[in-house]
């Protein structure tokens, strides 16, 4: 099934790139989304089934695949709005949609692959196509951001590859000749603990560039400051989820070994350091995209805190990851609307947004409530569970430090949002009509997070329980 999907996606991308026609774009991209929806449904009905030898529809892949499908559909709609407001020519539009299809396809491959080497290759592919999308506007800043992202991400992934290479060596010494995650996990008890630690540390360091975490967070922040807002919505959510996925699968491999306790400390420190850096950087943020990018760093730090404490923290970490995906995507979808209205990218030029566009202001206010984890946001539920796990696990000092820096982050986040919503505008204003569903979709995404947090359906909780069952 997946091989057919990949062939179909590549063919559609090539057709869009060659045809350079708006009609072709409007027909083929929805066709691609339809195939993606069909794949998500197929994966759920074939849970834990191996597909095309190298792929497996496990619970985590199914969850993240479903999130990616929903966000791909939304991103297509907001891409149409973005391209319309930018007045993009047909040739550039076709290049954009062709690259976007391949970017999404690479993430689909990453979500479902059951082989660590193929997962590395799929994530490397996301780097290439993301770089093309970052350079879409063809400006000097876009060129610099694209090259920096391509170079530093490739360096990070090369570091991760060394970790994977070390893991393959110690696996072969244990008699394994297959790098599937299931085989690696079953043989991990016989692997050398020192080399397991080195491998995990290299994988975590290398793929931190995708998760926007310490130490290789900077290049992702810069890229998200420049990239088109619909692309940012995917880079800050679905692509971050891919980075989490590879760390999580590596974590599962070592969960049955003596290295587990050490890895938990590493994840805890990574999460806390990321929170500290995000809080410091937010004191001088001047662009809205950069504000959201460092917010991603904050939330991934919280996810890693949950992953490090174990127990209910595992469940909460996955829950937080999914909720963050929907909320952060909604915020990024609105950025183009704000930039177009105020004819600026600088926060100090924004103001009075609620008065100028009440419906959009309402959507932004709901986004603020959601992203800052205020009740009834689902992020409040997941954060509460994570800190509950930390206190029950006697991590009082770590919890206290984390809460302090999260509070500082909330202060700067709310301060900037209130500036945009209610302060007098300092820049040029260009009034515009809202697109029919532009703000409705954002509100629906925030409402979905509230619904899943307050009354999650069994189909949702069962999948998350299946994800964390390998660690409990």
Q: What is the pTM of this model?
A: 0.95
106 neighbors 94 (Cβ within 8 angstroms):
no
Per-residue pLDDT of 250-274, as tens digits, reads 999 998 888 999 999 999 999 999 9
Rounded CA-CA distance 225/111 in Å is 26
The answer to whether 298 touches 214, Cβ cutoff 8 Å, is no
Pick from 269, 301, 308, 265: nearest CA to 282:
301
How many Cβ atoms sit within 10 Å of the Cβ of residue 340? 16
Q: What pLDDT score was predicted for residue 170?
A: 85
348-376 pLDDT, tens per residue?
Answer: 889 889 988 999 999 999 999 999 999 99
What does the block give as tokens for 135? 């350079």
Cβ–Cβ under 8 Å, residues 150 and 242 = no
- 147 has a pLDDT exceeding 80: yes
Structure tokens at 62: 């199914």
C-alpha 315/C-alpha 293 separation (Å) is: 24
Count of helices and strands (H, E) across the chain: 20, 2
Q: pLDDT tens-digit profile of 205-230?
A: 999 999 989 888 888 888 888 899 99
Can you tell me the mean pLDDT for 372-401?
Answer: 94
pLDDT at position 363 is: 95
The reported pLDDT for the residue numbered 472 is 57
Q: What is the mean pLDDT of the chain?
A: 92
């Amino acid at each position: 099934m997946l091989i057919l999907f990949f062939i179909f996606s590549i063919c559609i991308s090539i057709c869009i790139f060659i045809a350079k026609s708006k009609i072709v774009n409007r027909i083929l991209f929805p066709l691609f989304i339809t195939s993606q929806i069909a794949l998500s449904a197929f994966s759920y009905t074939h849970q834990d089934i191996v597909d095309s030898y190298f792929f497996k529809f496990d619970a985590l892949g199914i969850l993240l695949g479903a999130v990616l499908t929903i966000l791909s559909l939304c991103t297509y709609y907001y891409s149409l709005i973005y391209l319309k407001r930018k007045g993009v020519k047909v040739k550039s539009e076709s290049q954009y949609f062709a690259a976007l299809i391949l970017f999404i396809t690479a993430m689909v491959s990453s979500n479902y692959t059951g082989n660590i080497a193929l997962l590395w290759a799929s994530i490397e592919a996301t780097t290439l196509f993301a770089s093309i999308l970052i350079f879409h506007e063809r400006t000097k800043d876009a060129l610099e951001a694209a090259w920096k992202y391509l170079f530093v991400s490739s360096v990070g992934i090369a570091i991760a590859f060394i970790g994977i290479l070390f893991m393959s060596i110690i696996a072969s010494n244990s008699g394994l000749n297959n790098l599937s995650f299931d085989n690696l996990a079953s043989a991990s008890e016989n692997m050398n603990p020192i080399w397991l630690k080195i491998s995990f540390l290299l994988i975590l360091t290398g793929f931190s560039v995708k998760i926007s975490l310490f130490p290789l967070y900077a290049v992702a922040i810069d890229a998200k400051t420049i990239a088109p807002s619909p692309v940012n919505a995917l880079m800050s959510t679905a692509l971050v989820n891919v980075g989490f996925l590879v760390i999580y699968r590596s974590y599962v491999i070592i969960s049955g070994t003596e290295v587990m306790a050490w890895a938990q400390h590493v994840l805890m420190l990574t999460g806390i350091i990321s929170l500290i850096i995000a809080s410091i950087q937010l004191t001088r943020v001047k662009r809205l995209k950069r504000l959201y990018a460092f917010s991603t760093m904050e939330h991934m730090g919280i996810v890693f805190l949950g992953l490090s404490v174990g127990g209910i923290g595992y469940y909460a970490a996955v829950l937080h990851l999914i909720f963050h995906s929907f909320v952060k995507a909604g915020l990024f979808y609105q950025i183009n609307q704000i930039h177009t209205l105020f004819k600026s990218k600088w926060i100090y030029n924004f103001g009075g947004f609620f008065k100028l566009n009440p419906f959009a202001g309402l959507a932004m206010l709901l986004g603020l409530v959601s992203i800052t984890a205020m009740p009834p946001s689902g992020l409040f539920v997941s954060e509460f569970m994570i800190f509950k796990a930390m206190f029950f696990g006697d991590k009082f000092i770590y919890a206290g430090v984390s809460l302090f820096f999260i509070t500082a982050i909330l202060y700067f986040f709310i301060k900037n949002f209130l500036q945009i919503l209610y302060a007098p505008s300092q820049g040029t204003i260009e009034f515009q009509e809202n697109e029919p569903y532009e703000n409705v979709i954002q509100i629906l995404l925030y409402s979905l997070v509230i619904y899943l947090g307050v009354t999650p359906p069994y189909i949702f909780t069962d999948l998350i329980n299946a994800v964390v069952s390998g660690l409990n």
